[in-house]
Amino acid sequence: MLSGDLVAVWEVALSDGVYRIEFAHGTTTGKRVVYVNGQEVVRKDWMFKLVGKETFTVGSSDTKATIAIEAISGFAYEYTLQIAGKSLQKFIDNRAQTTKTWLLKVDGQDYRVVLEKDTMDVWCNGQKMDTTGEFVDDGTETNFTVGEHECCIKATSSGKKKNGIVHYLLLDGEQIPASTH
Ligand SMILES: *[C@@H]1O[C@H](CO)[C@@H](O)[C@H](O)[C@H]1NC(C)=O
């Protein structure tokens, strides 16, 4: 599928999934091709300008992504990815603050559960979940089901000023360790 012009690959974790972005750049034809999870989303076969930007969207929330092509010296190029207007690293750092992710296996199937802490939206394998939220003595509980199983995200005060609230996931009452993405 990909030609020898593949020059950059990035992985971007969004709430509805982890996306692999591949970029092919032909420095004689100016060709630019972008693939998201193997699907071609941008194709330009002939471009006089070898530097510049390509913008497209990723995921069901249409997150904006931009690849910048810059000449660094002679005929060497540098490719950088921006997501939602931020450098990829800034975007990752920001998501580490604003989201929490759990990877779990239930009845032999893999699930990726993502909590968006500011909205308390919960995503599971690309779907935004129907949840019921309630206040309890030590914080909040946000419940939803995965397969036949009851999940509960508890938010409680950490007792520390710095990272105020901790979130943890219970599957049938058992705590699931959080993932790094
Ligand atoms: C939410 O889940 C927790 C833990 O499983 C349970 O104790 C609680 O009763 C549930 N709340 C609702 C409203 O279903």
Please give the distance, rounded to the nearest whole angstrom, from the Cα atom of residue 174 to the centre of ligand 1: 12
Residue nearest to atom 12 of ligand 1 (CA): 143
Does residue 17 come out as left (phi exceeding 0), alpha (psi in the -120 to 50 range) or beta? left
Write down the pLDDT at residue 181: 59
pLDDT tens by residue, 89-143 = 999 999 999 999 999 999 999 999 999 999 999 999 999 999 999 999 999 999 9
What single-letter amino acid sits at 144? F
Write down the pLDDT at residue 1: 46
What six digits make up the tokens of 170?
């219970």
Best mutation site among 152, 171, 172, 175 for ligand 1 pocket (most ligand atoms within 8 Å of CB) = 152
In the chain the domains, ranked by start, together with CATH numbers, are 3-84 (2.40.128.180), 98-176 (2.40.128.180)
**Rounded to an integer, what distance in angstroms lies between the CA atom of residue 40 and that of residue 25?**
13
- DSSP category for residue 178: P
pLDDT tens by residue, 6-36 = 999 999 999 999 999 999 999 889 999 999 9
Strands 39-44 and 6-14 turn out to be unpaired
